[in-house]
Amino acid sequence: MGNVSFEATEDALYDLFGQCGDLMNVKLLRGKAFVKFTTGEALGKALALNGTECEGRRLRIEEAGGAKPKTERDPNSTTVFVGGISYYTNEDTIAAHFADCGKIKMVRMPLNED
């Protein structure tokens, strides 16, 4: 699920999706969430909630697709994705961490804004 408010809580998601059926787990990750149900019927009801507003944002609800196939590395690519960083990390911290790798053209980070 995407477009989740940064102020949303796991409890709020349990409340919202509890109406669909039994939940196994809710994981909330910076603007995204993964909700696992015990039955396919509950999943179907949750998918029907696509576009529902929660904490002031319209949720994008899709069935999780699992791991995507890896592609071959483009030898001309000069960009890396860095995930799993702390909320307190900033562009200067990232640039300093990769300084020994060579000249850094740009660091972009998503903003924690709604």
- Torsional sign, CA 91, 112, 89, 36: negative
Convert the pLDDT of each residue in 14-34 to its tens digit. Answer: 888 888 888 888 887 777 888
Q: HSE (CB half, 13 Å, CA atoms) of 53? A: 3
Give the separation between CA 40 and CA 87, rounded to whole angstroms: 34
- Of 14, 42, 16, 39, the closest CA to residue 27 belongs to 14
What is the CATH topology of the domain spanning 10-58?
Alpha-Beta Plaits (3.30.70)
- Give every residue of the chain whose pLDDT is below 70, as ranges: 65-78, 81-87, 110-114
Beta bridge partners of 57: 54
Query: Where do the structural domains in the chain lie, given as residue ranges?
Result: 10-58
* pTM confidence score: 0.55
Residue 34 near residue 27 (C-beta atoms within 8 A)? yes
Kindly state the DSSP code that residue 86 receives in the 8-state scheme.
-
